[in-house]
Structure 1
């Protein structure tokens, strides 16, 4: 018999990639990355050149279709496999990445009438311009004692569906009325593949506050915010919500022609990128915290009980693995912080030295930063370059670095930024633990753990926990492929559930990162300083960050 395969398509912040996986062995056969033609629009709007306000982040839905059109045929060609050998396809996506659609399911930005209006375009996950709306929603929910609020750490994010939808209503009411549906980009792509509307329980639960038994926030609550907002669920969020691991539908004739696959090929219900990584690193039971590390980091863990607490961005029953409550927290910027430093602040002599040693700038800085012992730089940073997702849930916060002197070197700053993100992760671990969700082990996946050994050692030292690393760089796409195999089911040669698929396909590296006791003691001291600064600037005792942002916005 010929081998059987599944394809996972991972839609990230800057690009999308398809991964072809042998479902019996978990071997990665071929992968192909398609950069988004239009990238992230955070300064000007494509076509019109309209200048965007601060904190906007938009995308072009056509880029997502290009990923399907280019990446899937490419992996089939490279692997020299026939379409008959592909039993399923899974999709994962950054979230909340949402778009308004017309009655035919076309994004409004692709229509002549609305294409020059910024609110018609896809709002990427890191679109933070809806913070005022998030504040309003949180205040209203708290004052009414809305039960759902506690499941999201007491605050909904500006990144999520309700805040982004309310921003459209407030700033473009005519477009709000015109939109027939608001959809996660993940669900929209699945709808393009299958021709059927099927919302994911994962995207709905974590990003639109849907609950398995209670549904979305009530009409009365939404109406209390704005009477025009009251019908949001019945109108713009309508549609069947299907559980993870289920089949959304079969590939349409037109999409089969575009991708080179067979019509009717099983398409899985969409997943969030970080959440797809959990079973891909063999985590299908409680107590194991998965760090999905990239431009940002998502922290995900399973539990057999539902608890609430500060710093928990969401708890959703069956939200990651059926049979468990899936918990999410996160940091709004991690890799993005390191990239900012390299792109915007590294001096020219560092670039020359890196080039002379035939190293990338990140590699050179990592090598030099590893020469310093914990605490040796005298620096301490807060990891809020893109606001704080957990535990404070406040996009108006910003970055800080203390201890700079005339002798400070670039590698010391780089190390302090690495350490800051590790401190942020420890704060999230503490929040989980304080809420009654035990964290026993750490698993890291995504691009950063594969590329930066110093970063992983610092995380082990700061948290005091051993870290296991995924044996794949394309962890999200790998997890999506696993869900594709589950959507096909055992009758087609796949798996009946994601636990079976994980046991057969998932792999982690034998090498782990273990905490160094002498480093742990120093980082315990530095973490106390981090927490004091974190609370002083993040909990309202000193509101200088918000005042600075207000001044900047007013100019």
Structure 2
């Protein structure tokens, strides 16, 4: 099997043996355009605050470059590959024509014609209105999303396009998650997966929000679900079915076979989200197993056999992670991005000289690890990319309290690491207070390579951390889903048990440090509640945007 993971800055492919999940070869392709945040490619068209776009050409290049390289690295013949699965960041969404052509290919000078990356947050005013109107009307679907729709999700971003560039909105015959668009390019058949439709597209209990609600947002928005080209589970809307996870979307087309070097006609799995497929890679597909995929941001996902309303969650969707179970999602909008921002922006040259080949992150980590808990005297709020859970407000911003003239870079670095752990504890506690127990906390993603950070999380959470047994969790998870789609396994649980892997209790909390962190976490909660109403932070952001 080949699994392909489309991330924020790059795409990676891995070749996996169906019999045991062994990873035989992999390759990474960096996106030429990266994250488009300031100006459109090859132009001087400037973007506003909190914009984040991507180029579909970068995604196609991953298929052209990374897939053949991974197969070559694995030392297998392309004819041995029986299926391909893909995953994507979400909600990364794009406007396209009815045949799947991205509008940015036709009108590259229009910002709203480009795909909006998951961390495009400038639709917050539109999300606010979506939430306000839904709350006033008592829309039944709103509690499934913790009481608020994020500015990252499909409806907020689409409403922004409608109201800021109605011509692009009118030309967009499809509003489609990149997770589904890339599958369309692979097999030539348009499909919509149940995961992104539920979590990002407000598809609940067989329908989208009602037309009269959409009309109240904007009369021209009433037919928006038609652009999503999907509908009832097991039925059709616009001729396109809502596809189950682990299902087959079709077979590899001749065009995609030429791109990838794989045989035409092999199975193409239904699209999925990077975080959600990682559960299978960690063999964490049973109720109560929370998987935290920690990278530039963190996504927390967990299957459950019960439905509950959990405040501030990204969503709860039937069959959204594993068919037959409810799937919960929460998240933190920035984690690794916070550490990178600090290193890139605030560390003095003298530290870089001392770090040398060790690298700045490793150097600061080594200095921070020498400190006793609380010695730096700082508390930070992990809102540098806004707050996804539990406040669901991307106009919030980061806060650091307690700095003095004696504060050093390693102090701030440690406080930032700790702040993300406090944010994770807030999420876990919110689940459990809502009657949804977290039985096991499993870590995946690039940040698990940092033992200091992992130990901080174990101490702050006061619980053991299990860790995934793969450095390419999403790609492995996509390959597992492809194995199910190709018929090698009966279902995702069976495939995950054979092909997935994790180490249980790889990190355990230290009681003394955990006690010290309890005191600091109480201060974090006090700051969280004080600044969480957004009044001060919103005013500061408004002043910045006006300037």
TM-score of the alignment, normalized to the shorter chain, above 0.5: yes
Q: What's 2:13 paired with?
A: 18
Q: How far does the alpha carbon of each residue in 1:477-497 deviate from its partner, in whole angstroms, 9 at most, with x for none? A: 1101101111100xxxx2121
Q: What's 1:3 paired with?
A: none
Q: Secondary structure at the match of 1:34?
A: strand
Q: Secondary structure at the match of 1:240?
A: strand
Q: Secondary structure at the match of 1:271?
A: coil
Q: Secondary structure at the match of 1:42?
A: coil
CA distance in 2, matches of 1:526, 1:257: 56
Post-superposition offset of 1:315: 0.1
The answer on whether the counterparts of 2:26 and 2:71 sit within 8 Å (CA) in structure 1 is: no
The answer on whether the counterparts of 1:387 and 1:396 sit within 8 Å (CA) in structure 2 is: yes
CA distance in 1, matches of 2:48, 2:227: 29
Q: What's 1:142 paired with?
A: 135
Write out the 4+ residue segments of structure 1 that deviate beyond 4 Å after TM superposition: none
Q: Secondary structure at the match of 2:28?
A: strand
Post-superposition offset of 1:23: 1.3
Post-superposition offset of 1:88: 1.1
Post-superposition offset of 1:510: 6.1
Q: Secondary structure at the match of 1:365?
A: helix
Post-superposition offset of 1:511: 6.5
**RMSD between aligned residues:** 1.0
Q: Secondary structure at the match of 2:245?
A: coil
Which residue, out of 157, 160, 168, partners 1:164? 157
Which residue, out of 528, 537, 542, partners 1:545? 537
Q: What's 1:87 paired with?
A: 82
Q: What's 2:416 paired with?
A: 417
CA distance in 2, matches of 1:107, 1:214: 28
Q: What's 1:321 paired with?
A: 322
Higher alpha-carbon deviation: 496-505 or 330-339: 496-505
Are 1:523 and 2:514 matched, yes or no? no
CA distance in 1, matches of 2:91, 2:121: 11
Q: What's 1:263 paired with?
A: 264
- 1:304-383 equivalences under 5 Å are 304-355=305-356, 358-383=357-382
CA distance in 2, matches of 1:199, 1:475: 23
Post-superposition offset of 1:214: 3.0
Give unmatched runs, 5+ long, in structure 1. 1-5
CA distance in 2, matches of 1:309, 1:32: 39
CA distance in 2, matches of 1:327, 1:55: 27
Q: What's 1:478 paired with?
A: 476
Post-superposition offset of 1:457: 0.4
> TM-score with structure 1 length normalisation?
0.96
The answer on whether the counterparts of 1:219 and 1:233 sit within 8 Å (CA) in structure 2 is: no
Q: How many residues align?
A: 538
> TM-score with structure 2 length normalisation?
0.97
CA distance in 2, matches of 1:499, 1:510: 18
Q: What's 2:101 paired with?
A: 106
Which residue, out of 110, 113, 118, partners 1:120? 113
- 1:168-317 equivalences under 5 Å are 168-211=161-204, 213-238=205-230, 239-317=240-318
Q: What's 1:488 paired with?
A: 486
CA distance in 2, matches of 1:52, 1:459: 36
- 1:4-83 equivalences under 5 Å are 6-83=1-78
Q: What's 1:440 paired with?
A: 439
Post-superposition offset of 1:104: 2.2
Q: What's 2:237 paired with?
A: none
Q: Alpha carbons of 1:511 and 1:534: their partners in 2 closer, same or farther (altered >3 Å)?
A: closer
Q: Secondary structure at the match of 2:290?
A: strand
Q: Secondary structure at the match of 2:141?
A: helix
Are 1:97 and 2:96 matched, yes or no? no
Q: What's 2:234 paired with?
A: none
Q: How far does the alpha carbon of each residue in 1:275-294 deviate from its partner, in whole angstroms, 9 at most, with x for none? A: 11111111121112111100
Are 1:504 and 2:485 matched, yes or no? no
Post-superposition offset of 1:174: 1.1
Q: What's 2:235 paired with?
A: none
Q: How far does the alpha carbon of each residue in 1:155-201 deviate from its partner, in whole angstroms, 9 at most, with x for none? A: 00000000000000000011111111100011000000010011010
Give unmatched runs, 5+ long, in structure 2. 231-239
Post-superposition offset of 1:48: 2.0
Q: How far does the alpha carbon of each residue in 1:368-424 deviate from its partner, in whole angstroms, 9 at most, with x for none? A: 100001111111100000000000000000001111111111111111000000000
Post-superposition offset of 1:84: 2.1
The answer on whether the counterparts of 1:444 and 1:468 sit within 8 Å (CA) in structure 2 is: yes
